[in-house]
A and B are shown apart, each in its own frame.
Chain A
Amino acid sequence: MKVRSLALLFILASLGCRRHQGWLELQDPSIRMPSYETIMAGSPIDGLTLRALQVAAEDFFPSQGAPRACIDTREAHRFYAVRSGEVIYVAILQDPAHCGRAYPSLDAGARYAISVDGRILRRLLAGEPELAVGQDTSKEDGPEPSALDADGGTEPIDVSIPQAGPVHFPGLADAGTPSPDAGAPR
């Protein structure tokens, strides 16, 4: 009688454990599952941030429509998120390497402000102007502009390399690929 009661308790306890539907099918025996600790060495994403990322991604990559070029897919983008109070800010930027490209497009990407309950508060596509909320845009602070010459004409935009003081820019140390003199008379 006692054994039967224990078996009944075990069955009832087992029924109380909820299993994800289809869990038996999602078992590829060739995959050796790492431990929780190993997986948790990656960056954690809390649930609210995950939802904000999903909301932004759904908006930026609508599910309907024609098949996309590789560079327009979710997989070809990087997603960033940071929370400030009740708002989660999301940035979406192209990852051209995913499609074998060496450089990204201009004016591609977006920034979102998502409330913690999953509503889009603002969306700013790359290339769109900021809203100067509460600012007087008729006057600009900061350094005064300097006129480039006195007679109203123009002078060439200077892009020459200064002799003194290296500028930190990726690849500048080795000056990149040697190039011919594109402006030399032929």
Chain B
Amino acid sequence: MRRCDLPAHVADKRNPRTSLAYLAMLHNHAGGESISTPDLHAIAGMARLHGPTTTFQGKQVSISIAAFFGREIDGKPECAGFYHYAPARSDEVFQYRVDSGRLTRRVVARVVWSDDQTPKILPIRGQP
């Protein structure tokens, strides 16, 4: 059994507590898989705590979740990109990939939330 627990709150004496907002859940998917159903439950839970949106530099922005994935080049691991979902902005799950120094983006899935707050992932290609 394994799990990855992210703290819901940050205690930083340099900043007043009310000036800190929860913007993104960042974690790794070493195997390269997309945002999963447990990930969606986690971001929904965090949104219940902090609200799905916050004001950042005068703009309303969405809470979001990212899962980084890697690859091996000449025996050395490196970051290959990440999956990203910003639920208050869009129902799309994006895959960002770094290739030859360039960042590309594609939609790999859409997320539909039922009234009982259960997410359903609709892959756009195969199973993300």
Contacts and interface: CB of A to CB of B under 8 A. Distances in A.
Answer yes or no: do A and B interact. yes
Contacts of A168: 91, 112-113
B79 interface: no
B61 A172 contact: no
A154 interface: yes
Interface residues of B, number: 71
Contact of A94 (B20, B25, B38): B38
Q: Is chain B's binding surface mostly helix, strand, loop or mixed? A: mixed
Nearest to B109: A142
Contact of B1 (A60, A147, A172): A60
A146 interface: yes
Interface in B44-67: 44-62, 64
Contacts, number: 208
A93 B112 CA distance: 18
Given A107-B2, A135-B126, A159-B64, 10 more contacts: A60-B1, A93-B38, A126-B36, A143-B107, A144-B106, A161-B53, A167-B90, A168-B91, A169-B87, A177-B50
Interface of A: 60-61, 71-72, 93-94, 96, 102-109, 125-130, 132, 135, 140-149, 152, 154, 157-162, 167-172, 175-184, 186
29 contacts: A61-B1, A104-B38, A105-B5, A106-B38, A107-B27, A126-B36, A128-B31, A129-B32, A129-B33, A132-B126, A141-B125, A142-B126, A143-B125, A145-B104, A145-B105, A149-B103, A159-B86, A160-B59, A160-B60, A161-B59, A161-B61, A169-B44, A169-B88, A172-B52, A172-B87, A176-B47, A180-B21, A182-B20, A182-B21
